[in-house]
């Protein structure tokens, strides 16, 4: 029997599940290896029996925890996909503000109808077996993680900074062009795609383990940036993380 997989989402933009749909022909090929039993974004059928659960989105409400724990109970393996699920992501920006004020700002007098708590990644609530980082996830990396899991292996995720891949891509360092980026402390695996496209590294894959934040702050200071901008940049995707503070 084919292994069964299921997709679930919490607070997020569903852009990571869209990357799975965007596999297109490769998704049809993947369907020869696995059976999708739940994927609300594209199918009506649903089963609570699955081997691998993919979770997109961050946890932003106490009430979401029970649903996530139920999925964890049903699944043999649980995989967090995308920055919101792996590190809290953009949704965690609200953690930097007073939550009651945040609710009032968006919903005014209606704020009392809305529950929210500080945004957290999936592994803050349940055990996570594998991660597919990025905002959005990279389709190739998703397939390689799935392949590893199907073969019973631990997926390999780089633990060196984006700068390594950025140099290999022969990009001109954005600091040299008067901009600043968080590539020096951000986990690689994206082939520095944003810098290659003329942008900067925004930090969507989260920090490498033991990031050299002092060096990052030094670089940023050397290029004449103020502390507030530096801290803000570091916190864009990682407001949930202690390192960013």
Partner 1 sequence: MSHGSHYLTRVEGHGNIVVDVKKGKIKQCRWEIPEAPRFFEAMVRGRKWDELHHITSRICGICSISHTLASVKATEAALGVKPSPQTVKLRRLAKHAETFQSHILHVGYLVLPDLMGVDSVIPLASSHPEQVKTVVRLHRVANEMSDLLCGRTTHPQRIVPGGFTRLPRPEDLETLKSRLRVAIPDLQAVTELVQSVAGNFPHFERQTEYIALVQDGEYPLYDGRIGSTDGGAWDVREYRAITNEYIVPHSTAKYAKHNRDSYMVGALARFNLNEQHLMPMAKEAANSFGLKAMCCNPFMNNVAQLVECFQSIEDSTRLIDEVLADGLHGETFKVEPKAGRGASAVEAPRGILFHEYEYDNEGRCTEANLVIPTNQNHGNIQRDLEALLPDLLAKGEEQTELGMEMLVRAYDPCISCSTHMLKVRFEH
If binding is defined by CB under 8 A, does position 70 make contact with partner 1?
no
Give me the DSSP letters along 172-191: PPGGGGT---SGGGBB--ST
**Interacting residue with partner 1 among 5, 6, 7, 17 (CB under 8 A):** 17
**Interacting residue with partner 1 among 7, 50, 68, 91 (CB under 8 A):** 91
| Residue recorded with tokens 């004449």 | 224
If binding is defined by CB under 8 A, does position 64 make contact with partner 1?
yes
If binding is defined by CB under 8 A, does position 33 make contact with partner 1?
no
Task: Report the distance separating Cα 167 and Cα 49, nearest Å.
Answer: 45
Kind and range of the H or E element at 36?
strand 35-39
User: Nearer to partner 1 by C-beta: 125 or 148?
Assistant: 125
If binding is defined by CB under 8 A, does position 223 make contact with partner 1?
no
If binding is defined by CB under 8 A, does position 40 make contact with partner 1?
yes
The least distance separating partner 1 from the CB of residue 36, rounded to whole angstroms, comes to: 7
User: Nearer to partner 1 by C-beta: 93 or 148?
Assistant: 93
Helix (H, G, I), strand (E, B) or coil at 17: helix
Within 8 A by CB and 6+ apart from 79, the residues are 52, 53, 54, 55, 128, 129, 130, 131, 132, 145, 149
If binding is defined by CB under 8 A, does position 34 make contact with partner 1?
no
Query: Is-contact 82 137, C-beta < 8 A?
Result: yes
If binding is defined by CB under 8 A, does position 93 make contact with partner 1?
yes
Stretch that binds partner 1, among 121-129, 156-164, 195-203, 212-220 (CB under 8 A): 195-203
Within 8 A by CB and 6+ apart from 241, the residues are 87, 88, 206, 207
If binding is defined by CB under 8 A, does position 43 make contact with partner 1?
yes
Residues lying near partner 1 in the complex (CB under 8 A): 9-19, 21-22, 24-25, 28, 31, 36, 39-46, 57, 60-61, 64, 89-91, 93-94, 97, 101-103, 105-110, 113-114, 116, 135-136, 193-194, 197-199, 202, 229, 232, 236
């Amino acid at each position: 029997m084919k292994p069964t997989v299921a997709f679930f989402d919490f607070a997020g933009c569903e852009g990571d599940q869209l990357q799975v749909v965007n596999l297109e022909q490769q998704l049809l090929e993947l369907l020869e290896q696995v059976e999708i039993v739940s994927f609300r974004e594209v199918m009506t059928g649903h089963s609570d029996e699955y081997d691998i659960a993919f979770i997109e989105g961050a946890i932003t409400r106490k009430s979401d925890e029970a649903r996530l724990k139920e999925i964890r109970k049903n699944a043999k393996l649980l995989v967090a996909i995308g920055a919101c699920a792996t590190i809290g992501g953009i949704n965690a920006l609200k953690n930097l503000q007073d939550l009651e004020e945040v609710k009032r700002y968006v919903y005014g007098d209606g704020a009392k109808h809305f529950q929210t708590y500080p945004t957290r990644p999936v592994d803050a609530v349940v055990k996570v077996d594998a991660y597919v980082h990025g905002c959005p996830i990279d389709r190739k990396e998703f397939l390689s993680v799935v392949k590893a899991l199907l073969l019973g292996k631990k997926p390999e995720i780089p633990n060196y900074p984006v700068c390594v891949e950025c140099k290999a891509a022969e990009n001109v360092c954005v600091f040299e062009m008067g901009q600043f980026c968080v590539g020096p402390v951000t986990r690689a695996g994206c082939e520095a795609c944003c810098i290659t496209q003329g942008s900067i590294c925004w930090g969507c894959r989260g920090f490498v383990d033991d990031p050299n934040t002092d060096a990052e702050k030094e670089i940023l200071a050397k290029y004449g940036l103020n502390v507030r901008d530096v801290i803000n940049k570091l916190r864009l995707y990682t407001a949930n993380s202690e390192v960013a503070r």
